[in-house]
Amino acid sequence: RQPLSPCVAGERLCSTEEATAGSGTYTRHGFIFSSLAGCLERKNEDNELPVVSVVRDSESQLLPMVGSVVTCKVCSINSRFAKVHILYVGSTPLKSTFRGTIRREDIRATEKDKVEVYKSFRPSDIVLAKVISLGDAQSNYLLSTAENELGVVVARSEAGVQMVPISWCEMQCPRTHTKEFRKVARVQPQFLQT
């Protein structure tokens, strides 16, 4: 990797004979242009043309930090924890997915001993959570949904329909009217993504 140099949107970076266009760039009339303001990055692959891409400063090092509110998708659950993939930090989508774990004791702020993971989350639920620690060697972030604003924001019923929250611990399918238990988030307007 060569050191990053700043560039502006629309700047002509090089000809398509010198490099291949990567993310944050586009080609026109045999040249590669920057499609956004950021830093020019040139990566050399094996004996092929280098790949030129432009990364935004904030994106290049955006990582979930302790205290960040993240949006994640539940992958699997067991009696002790839910495994999730972190998709957003705040409202910024992540380029790569990070794994996280929500332990049973971090699901709710009260009655922690009565919490049941399968009554809080189901696989494919979209959850707002807060990063409480950067985890261990498996690069798993530890997450918490103990605050009222955190928890499930999008869930599908067994009929495949997006459910409607009816209380802090239940969601209902608008088609079948079946109720399912969830740790429901009281969503703040700034976290609603259309």
Per domain, the residue ranges of the chain are 5-55, 68-186
Same topology, domains 5-55 and 68-186? Answer is yes
| Percentage of residues in the chain having pLDDT higher than 70 | 87
Q: Which amino acid is at 84?
A: V
Burial 128-167 (b: 16+ CB within 10 A, else e): bbbbbeebeeeebbbbbbbeeebbbbbbbbeeeeebebee
pLDDT tens for 75-130 read: 999 999 999 999 988 878 887 778 999 999 999 988 888 899 999 999 999 999 99
Q: Which amino acid is at 149?
A: E
CATH class of 68-186: mainly beta
H or E segment and range at residue 58: helix 57-60
Q: Are 33 and 26 in contact (CB under 8 A)?
A: yes
145: phi then psi, degrees, rounded to nearest 5: -120, 30
The reply to whether CATH 1.10.20.10 applies to domain 5-55 is: no
Question: What is the model's pLDDT at position 111?
Answer: 83
Residue appearing with tokens 């869930």: 155
The model's pTM is: 0.66
